[in-house]
Amino acid sequence: MINLHARTVVFDIDGTLCFDGRTIDRRILAAIDACERAGHRLVFASARPVRDLLPVLDGAFPAATLIGGNGSLVSVDGRVRARAAFDAAGFAALMDAVGHHGASYLADGPWDYAYTGPEDHPIRGRVDQGRLARRVDLAELPEVVKFLAVGASDPVALAEAGRGLGLTVNHHLDEAIIDFAPGSTTKWEALTSMGITEYIAFGNDINDFDLLRNAERAVRVGSHPGLDGVATITVPADPEAVAAEISLLAEAARTTAGTAGH
């Protein structure tokens, strides 16, 4: 039995809870539900904007806090707000670099989005699955809170250009995607801005590094080598294994509550 002080559980989505880009296995949903009923506060923290988190959760856990865009968006009690956006000069410089390296892009505003990449790119299938937003020209977005570059001629150079502009950059080599966020925006930074400093975290990718590094219990799903030094425990990227690990938290909470009652 594990003994934990934190009563907030933070879950990444893709590759952690969702393995097909669209749904969460019923065993995982049941385990999370048990966690919530045992008294844990739920937070879902994703690279997806809040708009694209909603179809995956499909109405489950309406009381949960949502962090989208790797920390640039939050939703509390169903109200979505932008926490961070690219400043005009920095974004113009980024777009110059994107053009120089021949990349196309997905740019997210607080709700709507602009996309110039190929329609058959894997990222396209995860954008606005619920048909909740509009696809618009970049100039129509009131602000840009998240930016993905795809198909760059030199992805490493483009990533370095973004870092040189002071942006948070995550380079997803498996999908040939470069993920840019404004300034030092991360999931962990968004979490702490809401006063949440004690928590348990589940994640699978390099954009979960700070989130896992600062967690009381850090669960790595899968085997990303970049998380070697921050994971408390590693579980396979398999719904049954993930559900079992989440269930341990519910059992621990119930045991603690039962002990306190005597």
| Burial (CB count within 10 angstroms: exposed 0-12, middle 13-18, buried 19+), residue 10 | buried
CATH number of the structural domain 88-181? 3.30.1240.10
Indicate the CATH number of 8-82+186-260 among 3.40.50.300, 3.40.50.1000, 3.40.50.2000, 3.40.50.11540. 3.40.50.1000
| Nearest CA among 200, 239, 174, 248 for reference residue 17 | 239
Domain segments of the chain: what residues?
A: 8-82+186-260, 88-181
Look at residue 219 and tell me whether its pLDDT is greater than 70: yes
The CA distances from residue 123 to 36, 48, 223, in Å, are 31, 10, 22
- Cα torsion through 199, 23, 111, 211, rounded to 10: 20
Domains 8-82+186-260 and 88-181 share a fold: no
Q: Which pLDDT belongs to residue 1?
A: 59
- The one-character DSSP state at 70 is G
Q: Which pLDDT belongs to residue 80?
A: 92
Could you tell me the two tokens for 112? 């709507």
Quick: pLDDT tens for 110-152: 999 999 999 998 888 889 999 999 999 999 999 999 999 999 9
Q: Which pLDDT belongs to residue 15?
A: 95
